[in-house]
Amino acid sequence: MVANRGEIAIRVFRACTEMNIRTVAIYSEQDMMHMHRQKADESYLIGKGLPPVAAYLNIPEIIHIAKENGVDAIHPGYGFLSERSDFAAACIDAGVNFIGPSPEVVRKMGDKVEARQAAISAGVEVVPGTDGPVKSAEEAVNFCKDHGLPVIFKAAYGGGGRGMRVVRKLDEVKENFNRATSEALTAFGNGSLFLEKFIERPRHIEVQIIGDSHGSVIHLFERDCSVQRRHQKVVEIAPAPHLDPVLRDKMTRDAVNLCKHVGYENAGTVEFLLDNTGRYYFIEVNARLQVEHTVTEEVTGVDLVQSQIRIAEGHKLEDLKLTQEKVKLNGCAIQCRMTTEDPAKQFQPDTGRIEVFRSGEGMGIRLDSASAFAGAIVSPYYDSLLVKIIAKAQDHPSAVAKMLRALKEFRIRGVKTNIPFLLNVLENEKFVSGSVDTYFIDENPQLFQ
């Protein structure tokens, strides 16, 4: 069973079907006609009368359906319940295998303060920050006096690029502390905050790792996710362009050490910020499959979802031919997140019926999507991701050329998409040369035209 919807549910069903595993979907009332329902062998309505998102968060009902229908494992996808340790625990208590890390590891990694502490004790450098939650505005001011500005407030239980506030002036610390606390409370149900030094002009580099239940952990190299809008990833690249091989070795080793240290099982991502002097700092672990896992699959040839399932079955990495020596990088892959957002209107989500849909295809192009076809209805209820376009080629410039060619082949009418924006990003000289940092989108307002 996939306790999720949309493209990621389909991604997992595809992996299962190839493995001769029967699949079960759950769907909300709003998703009655959604494609992920059709791609599974069985499907069950959940959350009758509940709001659209709440339906996918209703743990007792999901577990009940799983038990009633003889489900033996649940994949949580990303978002929704994927990083909820109580969900992982509820699955296990019900005798259903949870395809992910243990509940204890999910809990630890979901708390950014605890994750930082785990990194420190594993000998991994973290961004200088507070040891625990910041309890008062005065404490925040004192941290800034000791460590200097700028700083960034982060919600301890935040995610998805939300709950962060950058502060550059001492007299603005208090006000931002109060605002960030109430924002975190509203968004994550917990106002707990911590402070980090704000790293100027970093690149976001993250390491894909995978561990088995026998204590082995390996990495599958890194991704560069520096192209971000409001701290959210838009374009992802594997491997990171021009990354010094010595640095790559160190970062991947740190990621593996951290995961071994916490007893990490299954797939996960260790995120770092790399500054322009070559220093890098741990920021967080995502204890789940990421949206951008695709680019890693393209450059390593490893099916991460199938590996996740085999690991949950108890297989050893080496039985799956997943040893560090055997995992090799080949070529370059770029993913664009095509959304139904209008770049001309501050990325306002657009909804309605897709009247015309023709996709970019051909050699080296992979499309992961759910509702991307003529006649599909784009609803306002869930996130606006329409298609993940992945281009794979021998090197970065040829992957860029392939992506541009594919993006230009798309014809979509009925809903607005961010294709014009993606084209601007991919055509930008800095992007083509593989040298963007996280300031890229903010500093280039012409990308929005």
Q: Which residues have a catalytic role annotated?
A: 288
Which SS3 state, helix, strand or coil, does residue 179 take? helix
The site map against ligand ADP for 278-307 (x = CB under 6 A) is -----xx-----------------------
Tell me if 202 contacts ligand ADP by CB under 6 A: yes
Task: Return the number of the residue (6 or 158) whose C-beta is nearest ligand ADP.
Answer: 158
- Please report the DSSP string for 6-35 in residue order: HHHHHHHHHHHHHTT---EEEE-GGGTT-H
Q: Is 112 annotated as a binding residue?
A: yes
Helix (H, G, I), strand (E, B) or coil at 60: helix
Is-contact 154 194, C-beta < 8 A? yes
**Size of site (CB under 6 A) for ligand ADP:** 20
Question: Is residue 271 a contact residue for ligand ADP (CB under 6 A)?
Answer: yes
What is the CA angle 197-210-161, rounded to 5? 35
Pairing of strands 42-45, 24-27: parallel
Q: Report in angstroms how near the CB of residue 279 gets to ligand ADP at its nearest.
A: 12
CA 293 to CA 18: how far, in whole Å?
18
Q: Please report how close the Cβ of residue 327 comes to ligand ADP at its closest, in angstroms.
A: 24
Interaction of residue 441 with ligand ADP, rule CB under 6 A: no
Task: Kindly write out the interface string for residues 153-172 of this chain, putting x where it contacts ligand ADP by CB under 6 A and - elsewhere.
Answer: -----xxxxx-x--------
Q: Are 382 and 52 in contact (CB under 8 A)?
A: yes
Q: Does 183 bind ligand ADP (CB under 6 A)?
A: no
Determine the interface stretch with ligand ADP among 172-180, 196-204, 301-309, 327-335 (rule: CB under 6 A).
Answer: 196-204
Indicate whether 231 belongs to the interface with ligand ADP (CB under 6 A): yes
d(CA 206, CA 233): 12
Closer to ligand ADP at the Cβ: 234 or 317?
A: 234
The CA distance from 58 to 47, in Å, is: 7
Q: How far apart are CA 139 and CA 14, in angstroms?
A: 50
Binder among 199, 291, 333, 338 for ligand ADP (CB under 6 A): 199
Query: CA–CA distance from 86 to each of 59, 64, 105, 185 (Å)?
Result: 9, 15, 11, 20
390 is a site residue for ligand ADP (CB under 6 A): no
Is 175 within any annotated ligand binding site? no
Radius of gyration of the chain (CA): 21
Answer for which of 2, 106, 152, 274 binds ligand ADP (CB under 6 A) is: 152
Q: Find out whether 108 is annotated in a ligand binding site.
A: no
Residues 342-371 that bind ligand ADP (CB under 6 A): none
DSSP state at residue 171:
G
Residues 36-65 that bind ligand ADP (CB under 6 A): none
Give Cα separations from 139 to 34, 130, 143, 199, 222 (angstroms).
49, 10, 6, 20, 36
Which residue type is seen at 132? G
Rounded to the nearest whole angstrom, what is the least distance from the CB of residue 195 to ligand ADP in the complex? 9
- Decide whether 78 or 198 has the Cβ nearer to ligand ADP: 198
Q: Which stretch binds ligand ADP (CB under 6 A): 41-49, 198-206, 330-338, 382-390?
A: 198-206
Q: Does 204 bind ligand ADP (CB under 6 A)?
A: yes
- Smallest separation (angstroms) from ligand ADP to the CB of 144: 13
Q: By CB under 6 A, tell whether 127 contacts ligand ADP.
A: yes
* Consecutive H or E run containing 207: strand 203-211
Burial classification of residue 190, based on how many CB atoms lie within 10 Å of its CB (0-12 exposed, 13-18 middle, 19 or more buried):
middle
Q: Does 196 bind ligand ADP (CB under 6 A)?
A: yes
- Positions that interact with ligand ADP (CB under 6 A): 127, 152, 158-162, 164, 196, 198-199, 202, 204, 228, 231, 271, 273, 283-284, 438
Annotated binding site for ATP: 112, 196, 231
